[in-house]
Amino acid sequence: MKKYFVVSFDNEYDLVDATQDFRDNGFNILDAFTPYAVHGLDKAMGLKPSRLGKICFGFALIGLTIGLYGQYWISAVNWPINIGGKPWNSMPGFLPIAFETTVLFAGLGTVFTLLWRTGVLPGRQPISFAPDVTDDRFVVVLTEELSSFKSKKAEAISMSHHAVEWHEKLESE
């Protein structure tokens, strides 16, 4: 059974310092919740850079390829109609649709990949760690197996970084 240790702060500076201190002392940081983006929190948590940009670029290339090839195939192979003396494979005429398919595939592919990868799918109930978790508080959640969690050390670090409140929560609650 897992145990969660939830620590709330009033400002982002204490949150970043405490998160770095927790990480340096060997605690497992599950996540940090903030009302707005906090610079430096990702480094304090030890997160790797996101691969979502590369995924977006890959979907954009797929969309561009489908857009260009689809138009070429329709106009030059499947249904070649000579309209106004234009060639069947007129690349400048294909660019607006190719751009639109690039944007469409990049946007939708990135969103669906993000939802799939994070597990935020319809019907899933999120775990609520604290009532004011993103309204006006900055919260860091530590996790550990129940038998090996060092509560006294976590409380000492929390107090040294001006934590507003902290509490322990078991996985089944």
d(CA 117, CA 140): 22
Examine the fold and report which residue of 118, 143, 160 is the final residue of a domain before the chain moves on: 118
**Residue 96 pLDDT exceeds 70:** yes
Q: Give residue for tokens 């005429």.
A: 93
Mean residue pLDDT of the chain comes to 87
The CATH number assigned to the domain holding 134 equals: 3.30.70.260
% of residues, the chain, pLDDT over 70 = 93
Q: Are residues 60 and 112 in the same domain?
A: yes
Contact between 10 and 161 under an 8 Å Cβ cutoff? The reply is: no
Task: Tell me the residue range of the domain where 149 lies.
Answer: 2-49+124-170
**Residue 167 pLDDT exceeds 70:** yes
pTM beyond 0.75: no
